[in-house]
Amino acid sequence: MTRDTVILHRLVGIPQDDPRYVEAIRIAAAALDKGGLVAFPTETVYGLGARIDRDEALRSIFRVKGRPADNPLIVHVAGIEAARQVCREWPEAAEQAARAFWPGPITLVLPRAGHVSDLVTGGLDTVAVRVPAQRVAYDLVKTAGPLAAPSANRSGRPSPTEAGHVLADLGQAIEVLLDDGPCTVGVESTVLDLTQSPPTILRPGGISREDLERVLGPVAAPGEGPELARSPGTRYRHYAPSVPVDVVRGDNLDDLRGKLLQRIRELVAGGRRVGLLAAQELAGLEGISRYVSLGPYGRPGEAAARLFAGLRELDRSGVDVIVSHTYPPGGIGAAINDRILRAAGNTGGDSHRKQR
């Protein structure tokens, strides 16, 4: 469906009890009820929502994103009770994780209830579910009911962390866009498979492995679990701008500075205009044409929040290649490294496949 207009509600700075806020949520819920698509902010990235009981709307999610049909969607709900209704089983680990981290950036994969559409689960026997913390997302699912919502980007592009990113990718396809400013976490939720033992991280994200292990005991990281312990979505190329991304690996500033200088020198010698997406201590390296800051190296949470917007900004800036770097792998660093390496075309799991 191509539309001429999208209804944009700018909610930044408007209190939740203000009639304009309440009305925006009501209009969005009505559009969803009629089978429309609504883009809304979450604490991680903007989502493209459809009601889980509107098959036509679910189909259009895949169409407008250009998303493969076998890549299932996350169901967003407003609490543990609502989550249990889309699951066939609710093990103790689900209760513990939900109590510790919901509302928040973690998605639980559990056996699906029979009424959940195959369009949501991609035909799997499991369903992914989470309770978002962002106020607009939470209020919307509370009003409209459970929403299936992938990130609101064209498939393969960097995820949207601002309303402008959603408009740039999908403006033609959505009925209502709720704008509540930039997302605070900036990388997607952690996807945790609770149908396996130990619980297995399928996608690193906003809640770290260390945080999970404090509550659940040992948790397997991506690639450590059984062969099929991957989210279907992680098989596809992801998060990629239209220009190539070149990532330098290292876990301290001195090491990174030397490797980045070397890489930039080579690229410039080859006639390329280089955009650098890096911690602020690495600004001003010789040879770069554009620079976007990921904030202080010691604050990876800030880097996560700036990452996707930075990729998009450099992509638009006319450079030939974007050079970036990894972070120390603990905490949110695991999610940053996963996204930046995928943006560079590394689909992950390579070392895992080689073992076979």
Q: Which does 126 bind (CB under 5 to 8 A by kind): Mg ion, ligand TXA, none?
A: ligand TXA
AA identity, residue 69:
A
Beta bridge partners of 284: none
Question: Least separation, in Å, of the C-beta of 117 and ligand TXA?
Answer: 12
Least CB distance to Mg ion at residue 106 (A): 16
Closer CB to Mg ion, 40 or 291, in the complex: 40
Any alpha helices (H) in the chain, and if so which ranges? 19-33, 55-65, 80-84, 92-101, 118-121, 135-144, 163-170, 209-216, 253-269, 300-316, 333-343, 350-354
Distance CA 38, CA 19 (A): 20
By rule CB under 5 A, what count of residues binds Mg ion?
1
Interacting partner of 71 out of ligand TXA, Mg ion, none (Cβ under 5 to 8 A depending on kind): ligand TXA
Q: Which residues pair with 47 in a beta bridge?
A: 40, 151
Choice between 126 and 208, CB closer to ligand TXA: 126
Q: Are 135 and 15 in contact (CB under 8 A)?
A: no
Instruction: Report the SS3 class of residue 324.
Output: strand
The listed partner (Mg ion, ligand TXA, none) that binds 155, CB under 5 to 8 Å by sort, is: none
Tell which one of 161, 200, 231, 324 touches ligand TXA (CB under 6 A).
231
Q: Which is nearer to Mg ion, 207 or 264 (CB)?
A: 207
Strand order in the sheet with 47-51: 7-10, 176-179, 38-40, 47-51, 147-148, 74-76, 126-130, 106-111, 190-193, 200-203
Could you say whether residue 127 binds ligand TXA (CB under 6 A)? yes
String of contacts with Mg ion for each residue 120-159, x by CB under 5 A:
-------------------------------x--------
* Cβ atoms 142, 83 nearer than 8 A: no
Residue 108 bridge partners (DSSP): 129, 192
Which two tokens mark 221?
A: 């990281």
For position 324 contacting ligand TXA by CB under 6 A, the verdict is no
Pick 151 or 324: Cβ nearer Mg ion: 151
Give the footprint of ligand TXA on residues 263-292 (CB under 6 A).
none
Contact 174, 48 (CB under 8 A): yes
Which residue of 22, 27, 100, 124 would you call a contact of ligand TXA, by CB under 6 A?
124
200 binds, among Mg ion, ligand TXA, none (CB under 5 to 8 A by kind): none
Instruction: Report in angstroms how near the CB of residue 322 gets to Mg ion at its nearest.
Output: 19
Q: What is the DSSP string of 241-292?
A: -SS-EEEE--SSHHHHHHHHHHHHHHHHHTT--EEEEE-GGGTT-TT-SEEE
Q: Which residues bind ligand TXA (CB under 6 A)?
A: 42, 44-45, 47, 71-74, 105, 107, 109, 121, 124, 126-128, 149-151, 188-189, 191, 202-203, 231-234
Q: Which residues bind Mg ion (CB under 5 A)?
A: 151
